[in-house]
Each structure stands twice: as C-alpha cells, then as structure tokens.
Amino acid sequence: MISIAGTQTIASLSISQSSPTRSIHSTNSSHPQAARLSRRTPSIISAVPVPSHDQRRQCECHDLFKEIVPYVEAWRWQKETVERISASLARGEEPPNSVVLLQHSPVYTMGTRSSDAYLRFDKNHPPFELHQTERGGEVTYHGPGQLVMYPIVNLRQQKMDLHWYLRMLEEVVIRALWSSCSLRASRVDGLTGVWVGDSKVAAIGVRVSRWITYHGLAVNVNTDLAPFQNIVPCGLVGRPVGSVKQLLHTVNLSSAQGTRPSKAIDSDSPWFMEDATILDQVHQSLLVEFAEVFQMDLVAPVNNGPVTINAIVQEKNS
C-alpha cells in the first residue's frame, strides 16, 4: 500500500486484491479490473534494475488526473518548484520530491534543439498553442485523454545519470500498462519512449537543473490522435503513434476473431473498459509504479511554496 498523506493517512492507493483501489481523490471504481492492479510480472516486462533504498524518500503527490491544466501554468509550476527545492537544498534541508499527474488542453511543445522540419504547419500560425521549452527531444502533442506526469526528483538521492533516469521513466510506463490493462509494452533500442507493438504510446522528454528533474512523460490513453498528423511526433519518421484505448480495441477485435484463443473475453475484461475507467486505471497504476520504481512514499502536498498546482487549477476554474 502506498500512503497518500502528510503525518497521518488521509487516503491511499491500494494494490491489494481484497480491497477497491483508491486515489488521492478517493476515486473508487466498480470495474473488476480495479482489483487486479497487483498482477504484474516485471521480470518478464523489463530487465532494467530499479533502485533499492534502505529508507524510502517522500514525494509530494499532486493527483490532478481529471483536470485539464493549461501547459504554461504547469510549466511555470515546475520551474518554481525546482527553484524552491534548490533553495531548500542550499540551506542544508531535505525537501521532498514532487510529482504531478494531469491532462493538458491541446498544445504542441518543442524541445531546446527541436527542428522546425518536423512541423507540418506554419510555425507562426499553429493549429494549437506552440511552445519551445528547455526539455530534450523533438516536437510532441499534448491534449485531453493523455496522462502527463511531471516528476520533480532530486537525482542525488537516486542516481546521477540522466540515461538511467530516462530508462526508469520508461519502466514506470511499461509496468503501469501491464498492471492496468494487461498491455505488454517495451522499449526500442536507441530511442526514448514506450511502444506497444509498432505504436508509440508514451513520449518522454526531461530537463535536469542541478540534478533536479522536471518535464517528464506523457501516455496516450484515450487521446484524439488526429493532432499528431500535424507533426512528425518526436521526429520519428514512419513510426505511428497509438493510444491505450486504440490498442485495447485492436486486442478486442483480434480476440473476437479467434486470433487470441488463450485470452477469454467477457464483460469483466479490461478490453471492455469505458474511457473514464481506462483513464482512472492507468492513472492509478502510473502513481503506484512511479512510487515503486523510485522507492518513494507519496504524500499530500504542503501548500507552503510560491505556487501550488492545486492553486493553479482553482484559479483556472474560478
């Protein structure tokens, strides 16, 4: 069980088969898949070793997976959080790490060295907002139905190796897709991200400042994939982008046609989950696996920083 609390437990993410799954919002799901989050086989999925710490670190969890947050606001929050943690470390303190999980309104983002050649539109007249950021990687799209995770992690507490960190983020997604939807995801040698078959379902782009990470990963759950046609996603020509919903539909069809006889299909199958249920299940698994891979305890955020992501959402909705 991963506690989501300050000094006392206020909610939890449970991976026990005997109790319903709960998020920081105490979102319950009646779907049978909610009791199956503990079913994972990491040794089959990935051979990348995860860290083992004698003492688990704390990580403030901003679970806003149902919220549509403007990109610029989340970007501002990340940079201010990095500065706050850096200042705290300079004073000899041990501030907690942070992670936020949310969705964005439609937006294209480019990395520091992204090429305009991967844009299929006039940069001066983009179909959606377009922002050049300080992360690595090429252009990508964010929009509703896509779960975006921004970990603010002090790598001095983990491993001061950016390539290792990228592999760990991939590991989080690989495990989460298996535990939530029984999708067997993988890496592609020489590339960053996560694939199911030939379809890329998760993009990763990060920045590290004084060994503190920001930016992060994006998983296409039930995202409208049409906006990806306006770009060459991540600069990968000829490599399709997919979504969890799309892939589950494909598995459903192939099973119905008898091409997967070993997998029984019934109304309890994760392949029949509704959009909201898929989003909820993947979100819960992402948090569970993030905490497990990085050996952290997720705790409720303390609203003592210059800005909180919750305040951003409240301001947006006011």
Beta-bridge partner residues of 209:
212
Q: Is 234 a catalytic residue?
A: yes
DSSP summary character for residue 154:
B
Do the beta carbons of residue 243 and residue 221 sit within 8 Å? yes
Closest CA relative to residue 147, chosen from 278, 10, 303: 278
Element (H, E) at 2: strand 2-5
**Strand order of the sheet with strand 97-104?**
194-196, 199-209, 212-220, 146-152, 97-104, 57-69, 296-299
Do the beta carbons of residue 294 and residue 286 sit within 8 Å? no
Bridge-based pairing of strands 212-220 and 199-209 is: antiparallel
Active-site hit among 59, 61, 181, 234: 234
Catalytic site residues? Answer: 234
